Each structure stands twice: as structure tokens, then as C-alpha cells.
Amino acid sequence: MMSGRLPSCSPVRLGESTPTRRPRPRRPYRTPRSAALFPEEAGGCREGDVPARPRPIRRRATDASQLRRGDVVHKYRVERRLGAGRFTTVYQAYDTLEATRVALKVFADHPAAISIFAHEARIAARLEHPNIIRLKTAEVVEGRRVLVTELGDRSLADALERPRSTRFAIHVFHEVLCGLAYAHAQGIIHRDIKPENILLWRDGQVKIADFGVSRFAEPATHTTVTGTPSYRAPEQAYGRPEFASDLFSLALVFYEMVTRMLPAWPFRWPFARHERFLSQVPPALVAVVRRAASFDLSHRYRDASTMLIAVHRAIPELLDDRRAPSRNGRRLSWQEYRQREFETRFGRRLGLDYRCNRCGGPVSEFMLDCPWCGFGGNSFYGIGTFPNVCAVCERGVHDDWRYCPWCYGARFRIVSRVPSQDARYGGLCPNPRCRETRLLPHMKHCPWCNARLRPWRSRLLTGICPGCHNSVATDYWEHCAWCGKDLLALRLRQSRRRA
């Protein structure tokens, strides 16, 4: 007879006691999640059951920004999701009132997202340029912070999925540079130029999007490191972005468009596939891109306006292409026809060799404001015919001038004793103690005694500005180029007073 306990499967003889079995442990009863969280609603657990520990419900910080297809936010009906970031989600939506499609940028309910929303809304509201995405509205709808902007057909990142022509790359490069020139003139650094933030339209329009991480330029300040690492400038990686940082990122984007190869650290020229880049791009433009992509910040262009002038000198055809009809047969607007006619008639005599950073209209370095859009932030640093510029208004001055004749600034500290020679000098200072004859047209003050000068009259410009009484082209201009007054508004006021 075997000692010990018999296995349960072995036969048992008569008269022997049946071995007792241990009770089989009952498995814990796993209740539904709702019953585990609220046992009183589920009737509690049965006696002897061990309730399972409920799994924590994970909630992302962007739950407030999550929408589904068909959801309606105010007057916008969500159609599909375009992309998402850390605190934002972008949707394609349909405006049921205006019957147009828009981009709906929804921010998460997070303290950082709230500050980003306010910052981006204020920046976008200040920017109004054909190459910058237009902000339609910024509001809080049903507890969600929403930015509504234009909707492009696709991004540059989508377009680069297949090879593109060099002409396409130069066109995108030039349009983005025009938008950056306007933003830099407003004192704004984008800080995140990349293909995903460049939007394209079927009619050839190119616009810059996503100013969420942009900021106003402040000298000698350290900021948070932002931007996409692959397109980030070296100084931006240390939290010290400059205007030239945007130019560095744009140069990398252009190089990637042409060669389909993104340059990598340490950004030493020549980059990979340099032979292909040289064979596709004109030599003059190669020199511009090389300077913009320089590792050393001091070797790059100061801002986008300076670089834009260099690009126009490298490829003058870009100015004509910007005003010519597009491939799809788009006709010139009446404003473009008017600018072209004025440039043809008065371009050489008035020296219309420059372009406004906002509207692209022809301007002269003597004009204090753009006569087409009234923009007064055009800078002529390093591109004008004068040897120096005023530190306040950034307009040209000669080295022997004591005061700036354009902005009535303080007296210059360093004044050359060598008299300046300029064929455009003429006129007479009204100050009897000065009587200087070396004056230029449309000066506001004498550069030697700072006396107020009389209004200038020209035979070419037959109209008179009601504000500053200088000569203006009333048949063409909407604003006075010398004082920035709205000529249409001033005419309307005068007509009402006469009536």
C-alpha cells in the first residue's frame, strides 16, 4: 500500500476513506470599469469576490481640442483633421455662412496653450501681406480657443513628395522672402520656417503660416529654444534668434527644394549634392543662398529686406514675374496696372528702384511712406545710394550731415569734415544763418541747421497734398509719399467742408 495521498484519478477500494480535496480557489471577479469606479451603482461585489483595481483613465491635455467629423463649432462644420501639435489641433472646416473652407486651429485647455493662443492672435492681427496667411477671427467658442485662418490647397511638404522644377523652387523662395521682409519690417521673427509652414494655392500663391512661436526682435535677450531642429539656425539653438535666423532656415528649405537633400550639421559649404545645386541655380543666386546659409551670423544678410534686394539684383526677372499674369490666366488687378503705368512714366525721373516690403509697389528712397499702401517701415539699410543711414528711420544720409533731414532726429555724434558731393543737390535753406544750398528734394529739415524747410513742388507731380502741401500724384497714389496721409480721406473731408 502506497504511503501518502492518493491521486484523485486512482481507484479507491471499499472500506477506505475518500481523500478530502482542498476547495478550489475562486478567481477574482473582474467587474466592469463603471462598476469598479461606482460600486454602489453596480450593486457592489459578490461575497468572496475580489474586485479588480480599476485602470486609470488617461486624459490628454488636448482633449478639449479633439473634434470629430461633422462636429459644429459656432458656424464652422468640421470636415477632417489636418494635423496636430503639442497644444493645438488643426482641422479643415466649412463656413456655413460664407460658404468657404477655412483652417480651424483649436487650442488645448492648458495654461501654456492659453498664452500661445493670445500671442499668436496678436501677432497675426498685425500682419497683413499677400504672402502671409490671413487671420479671419480669433475667439473663444464653447470653451474652446479657436483661430480661423485661410485654407491653402496644400503645404510645401506635400508638394515636395515628388520632384519639382527649379522655377517652382525659385518662385516659392522669392514669395516667402517677400513675406519675411514685411514681417521683419514689423519687428517680428518667425523662428520656424519649414516646408510644413509654407502653404501653396493652385493659382500660384505662396503664404507663410504658423506664427505661434514668433516673437518681436529684442537685442541681447535669451529666449526659449524653438523651431524645428532640422531647419534651426545655430544661434537659435542657443536661444538667441535674429532676423538672419529666418533667412538661414529659408536657405535650407530652398536648397532642399532644388537638390531634395536637406543640409545637416555643421552646415559647412559646400553641402551635399552641391554639383546638382550649381547646375540648376543661376550663379548670382547661388552666392545669395550661400551667404544666407552661412554658419557665422555676421556673414549673413541683416534681414529679409536686404536679402530681397540682393535676390532682385541676381534675378531681375522676378520683379516682372511678380506683376505679370500667372500661368492660369489670372489678369492683373487695377492696382497692379496703375503701379506699372506710373513706373513706366515716372520711374527714371523719381528713382523708383525699390519695392515696398508690404505691397511690392515701386518706391523711391526719398519717399517716407509707400504711396500705394501707406506703409512707413521700409528700410534702406545697405541698399540705398547714400553712404550711411539714420539709426532712427534707417533712411540714407551723407557723412557730413549733422541732422537727419527725414525724421527730425537727434544730432549725429560723428560728422565728417569732407563735403559730400551729390548731383541731386539743389534748393536753399530758409534759415538766414545757414543759407545752405546742398539740399535734396522732399527733405523735411535742413541737414546742417535742422531748420524746417518749405514744401517741395515738382512739375512731374501736379497734385498737392492737403496735409504737408508737397507735390503728389493724385491720379495714381492713395497715400502721400511724404507724410503718409490718406489722400482719399483728405479729399472726402475737404469736399464735405466745402459743401
Signed CA dihedral, 302, 307, 309, 310: sign only: positive
Q: What's residue 68's pLDDT?
A: 86
Question: Mean per-residue pLDDT for 238-256?
Answer: 90
In a domain, 125, yes or no: yes
Last residue of a domain, one of 129, 149, 169: 149
CB within 8 Å of 471: residues ≥ 6 apart:
455, 456, 457, 458, 460, 461, 462, 463, 464, 465
Mean pLDDT for the chain? 78
Q: What pLDDT, in 10s, does the model give residues 298-311?
A: 889 988 988 988 89
Instruction: Categorize the per-residue pLDDT at 288 as very low, low, confident or very high, splitting at 50, 70 and 90.
Output: very high
Q: Indicate if the pLDDT at residue 204 is higher than 90.
A: no
Question: Mean per-residue pLDDT for 109-114?
Answer: 84
Residues 308 and 179 in one domain: yes
Q: How far is it, in rounded angstroms, from Cα 179 to Cα 187?
A: 13
Pairing type for strands 76-84 and 88-95 reads antiparallel
Report the CATH number at residue 140.
3.30.200.20
Q: What pLDDT, in 10s, does the model give residues 445-482?
A: 899 898 888 888 888 888 888 888 888 888 788 889 98
Residues 162 and 118 in one domain: no
Residues 171 and 121 in one domain: no
Question: Mean per-residue pLDDT for 244-248?
Answer: 92
Q: How far is it, in rounded angstroms, from Cα 175 to Cα 182?
A: 11
Give me the domain span that covers residue 295: 154-323
Residues 102 and 170 in one domain: no
Last residue of a domain, one of 127, 149, 171: 149
153 catalytic, yes or no?
no
Instruction: Categorize the per-residue pLDDT at 128 as very low, low, confident or very high, splitting at 50, 70 and 90.
Output: confident
Question: Mean per-residue pLDDT for 314-333?
Answer: 57
Residues 283 and 219 in one domain: yes
Distances (CA, A) of 336 to 265, 278, 324, 372, 486: 43, 34, 9, 10, 19
Report the CATH number at residue 237.
1.10.510.10
Which three three-digit cell numbers place residue 476?
Answer: 495714381
Domains identified in the chain, total number: 2
In a domain, 300, yes or no: yes
Residues constituting the chain: 499
Residues 171 and 317 in one domain: yes
Among 49, 63, 71, 192, the one annotated catalytic: 192
Residues 160 and 138 in one domain: no
Which three three-digit cell numbers place residue 392?
Answer: 532712427
Q: Indicate if the pLDDT at residue 152 is higher than 60.
A: yes
